[in-house]
Amino acid sequence: MKKNKFSKNWIIKQKRDIYVKKSKLEGYRSRAVYKLQEINEKFKIIKNNTLVIDLGSAPGSWSQYISRNYKSSKIISIDLKDIEPIENLFHIKGDFTEDDQKIKIKNYFGKKIDLIISDMAVNTTGNKSVDSLVTGELCLEAMNFAVELLNKKGSFISKLFMGSSFNAIVAFAKKTFKQVDIFKPPSSRKDSKENFIICRNLR
């Protein structure tokens, strides 16, 4: 009964959501696209000819935004799910945390890159503390990967939930990058604990 009630409430919320409507009108695959758009409008990170890795990419709206607006960019994405083809995108179906998948990603470019983006989050359990902690671990693993692959002026953007590991991750980011910002995009739902950490210029 609780699950059915949650599903019904979610459907009602989706129907009322202006960003869901807008994404359909503009041909984007999910409302999440506007989070990246708002981040980019504020911090001016994505440029033409950008080499990008998109972690946890399905259904692909972040890659879609970059491909559509920065056509000379080259993107590789990875997710446990397949996604429909996107121009200038090479997609890997797999688990980003596995070493063999990381090697595939590294080999694709064969050199240092400009940007790593991550909208990864665990499937929610209902326990906000657990969800925050596990999603924080994903963010930290992605950040460590970014340190290996980014050039000195590279940038890293990742979802990060408020919770027990939040301050430790931000502190690590500040030791690793010269510029670190925390930003909650206007399109992020008000009842969500999600924020995004925006890191620029490796130390």
Residues labelled as active-site residues: 159
Residue with tokens 């990967």: 145
Element (H, E) at 173: helix 166-176
**Residue of 176, 133, 130, 183 whose CA lies nearest to 158:** 183
Coil vs helix vs strand at 22: helix
**Residue of 57, 53, 52, 107 whose CA lies nearest to 79:** 57
**Residue of 79, 87, 72 whose CA lies nearest to 117:** 79
- The DSSP bridge pattern shows strands 74-79 and 51-55 to be parallel
Structure tokens at 121: 């989050």
Structure tokens at 98: 């596995």
Task: Say if CB 82 and CB 91 are below 8 A apart.
Answer: yes
Across the beta sheet with 51-55, the strand order is 89-93, 74-79, 51-55, 113-118, 150-161, 194-202, 177-183
Question: What whole-number distance in Å separates Cα of residue 101 and Cα of residue 164?
Answer: 29
Q: What is the chain's length?
A: 203
